[in-house]
Amino acid sequence: MKTTLSTHLIQRIEHRVAQLVEHAQRRTGRKLTCPSIGFRRAGRNAGTAHLNRNHINFNPLYLHDNVDEYLSQVIPHEVAHIVVYQIFGRVKPHGLEWQSMMRDTFDCKPQVTHTMHSDAVTSRVFTYKCDCGQVELSVRRHNKVVRGQQQYRCKRCHATLSQTL
């Protein structure tokens, strides 16, 4: 499914990114370069920071249905990755530097994952089982299991997942 974003919404996103970079620049006293921005579907990722390219990609399907969440959480999350990389180089993705940038500079809770929903981001899932219940795997992960390239373990009980029939 393709979602077309309005020019106004794209400008709001670009403005928010620039605003956060300028704020980080003032707070850190470091010269920072504003990243380029793209809007391309990337599975269930709300956004992705490409550090070496100084580029952030936002998922238009989630963005269209969750504008406020993007402005308050997703954009600061991705900009924090870019800013931390420009200041510290390659560090742990959600490590202390990133957490500090989120909390102390952007005044945001340093959340690693999102809980947004969008009917447009529906992809087929496959149900697997473990010792403590059921887990859903994406098509990509399921295909890796079928091809014998990967095994997955439950995050809670650490049992190897097996497909339910």
For residue 135, give the H/E element and its range.
strand 133-138
What is the per-residue burial (b if ≥16 Cβ within 10 Å, else e) of 59-95? bbbbbbbbeebbeebbbbbbbbbbbbbbeeeeeeebe
Is the sign of the CA dihedral 84, 85, 87, 89 positive or negative? positive
Strand, helix or coil for residue 164:
coil
DSSP β-bridge partners for residue 129: 134, 162
* Annotated active-site residue in 22, 69, 78, 136: 78
> Is 97 a known active-site residue?
no
Catalytic residues: 78
